[in-house]
Structure 1
Amino acid sequence: MNRMTNSFRALMRSRLSLLALVAILPAVLWAVVPVGSLGASTDAKLSTLKNKIEKTQSEVDKKKGTEDVLTTDVAAWQHKINGLQSKIDGLQGRQDEIEVGLKRESKQLNGIQDDLRTQRRRQVEMKARLEEGRRVLGQRLFQLYRADAPTLISVVLDSKGFAELLERSEFLQRIGEQDRHVITVVRAARVDATINANRLGTLENRQQAITSRIKVKRDAVASIKGELVTTRSGFDKSKERKAALLASVKADRHQLEGSLSQMRETQAKIEGVLVGGGPIRQGSGSMIWPVNGPITSPFCERRAWESCHPGIDIGVPGGTPIRAADSGTVRVASMNGGYGNYTCIAHSASLSTCYAHQSRYAVTVGQNVSKGQVIGYVGCTGLCFGDHLHFEVRINGQVTSPLNYL
């Protein structure tokens, strides 16, 4: 009976143990599975992110290539515009010279026009004198006719015109002295009128020639200049279109580069977590580790007979965020020879930390930073042979082992 009781108790203990195992199994699985899943999920996200970065970088490179082509095009159009502008400026100089010459010819034309007005007044006066002489001579001939001077009348009738009559000697011999004076006046008036009419014709021809010459010169220069200005306007529009397209491409590239920068920061954070096992690594000292990774080159003090490493090198991927080991004020953030992009933070009057070989900065000189704040990103600037962070701790400017503070 006791044996059966003991067997029953053993069986019950076995079943209870099995039930307990079944009860805690989900919790065990829940604790184990997410970790593996998290790692796989993070790797997948990182892979997807890298693909996006690669694609975006390719697009940025294409945009840069397009920018180069458009920049060349804009420069070419500007060169053409400059050439046309030189021609336009040359034509403007030529136009100015023509205008100076035209002013001289205009003065000459004004003088000719004054002469024309004077000669036209004289022409009117001469015509009046000629008409008056003809009137007086006509009256005198009528008087001779009434005086029954048949011989003189026959001379008048045989003449083909008034001008021929004045030139016939027998007519002049048969008239009196007073009549001869009248005829002389009429003859002089007729000659003056003819000469003045010829002069008027000459002046009018000169006026027309000068006016035509002025118009031809002005029209020629204006036509060429107009064509060049029109062509330049077309060139300007072409250049403006190219420049607008260039600005658009640059804006797209800047936007892509902004996205690329954000993705790379995300990549660096993910890689930093994967490499270091967490975003911030707290050691036993007062400072935190600036990045999470293995020491690839330890610290050793400098001695007179040898050159040693004045800090520690921590191996992490490029782009990994670098965190301030402690709160303080940024004193240096610049390129520094073999240190490359170099940042130093003063934590007190004597204590400071320095971070070398950064790919880029995230802080500026004079900025106050808190412990754990991102101050830059891991790179390989300056004298280095691969992405890593060179980290130093200084007391009154002298390096000391960072491990005493981490």
Structure 2
Amino acid sequence: MMRRRFWLPITLGLSAYLVLPLPGLSAPLDERIDRQRAKVERKRQTEGVLTQTIAAQNEKIRGLQGEVRGLQRRQQRLQATLDEKRTELLDVRDRLERARRRLAELREELAVAEDALAARLVEAYKTDEPDVLTVVLNADGFGDLLERVEFLDRISDQDQRIVGRVRTAKARAQRQAEQLLTLERRAEDAAQTILARRNEIAAVRKRVVRRRTNLQEARDRRQATLARVRSSRRRAQEDLRALEAEQARVEAALRRAAQERTSASPPVPGNPPAAPIRRGSGRLIWPINGPLTSPFGPRWGRQHAGIDISAPEDTPIRAADSGRVVIAGWMGGYGNYTCIQHTGSLSTCYAHQSRLGTSQGASVRQGQVMGYVGNTGNSFGAHLHFEVRVNGSPVDPFGYL
């Protein structure tokens, strides 16, 4: 029992969903035109926003491109300076290496000279070589004495000069090596500083390039979106033009009918029986008897150009007033569509019929069956979309029913 109570409202809701027309899916022509215009305008606004965004991104990309070029030039200049410093460093290192080799050679020469001098002194001591007095006493005359003393002095001076020159050259080589070592350190420090600056600029340039790439990718995505929006907007404009042309055909037909209005023709025989005529306080009768599912006027931000009346499919539709049929046939989203001209300015229209009960040019009288409720065109669920038009423009039917 509880399960039956549970499913009963759901079943009734589904039945109503299947029987009643869905609001907005059976939109009349005027409403569809307004909706399509709003759609085109939204897409045009989206195009404008995308175009401005893409232009701003292009400007940023150009700025980043200029920044990348500037950083690249700075990097190239630093690289050239770094190459020069590295060349100088290699030259200093080469000179330092030569100085070090020369110093090593001088050290060896000094060691040899000092060893030779020491050896000579040791030899003189061992052989008990004569000193100056011994040389004088043993000299054979003054000339011989001079030669002996000069010879001893020459030996001593020569040894001392050799040792002195070697020591002087060694000191010079040592100073040169120290100077070159200082230059090497300075050159290496300069090269490292320039290398660090170059690497820093390269890192900045890499970040800027990454920003530019990301911006380009975002720009490209927006351009693709813009192309899709433009294509969609063009299609929407084509649909709008088709709807406007359809509307123009309806209004033109009604205007022509107003100009060519003739008297009503005799009743059309053979129509199935219809529901009793329902009258209100106005001139027109209700075309069918059924619940009102959507009134005339604003609906979800748009204009609903008629009223929707629910009824089972193939329910006979009565002419709201006598007049001449000016439109009878398929009309886009209206499906099977009939418009009857009643006076020079007043007409009524009936949409979504399952089949027509009259033809264009025929005359009908008020209450005569002129069609049947259906579900054709942009409609889900059998119902009648009923319009009242004055000079071709829709007005609220309740002012006339």
Class of the TM-score when normalised by the shorter of the 2 chains = 0.3 to 0.5
TM-score (norm 2): 0.45
Q: More relative contact order in 1 or in 2 (CA 8 Å, sep 6+)?
A: 2
Q: TM-score, normalised by structure 1?
A: 0.45
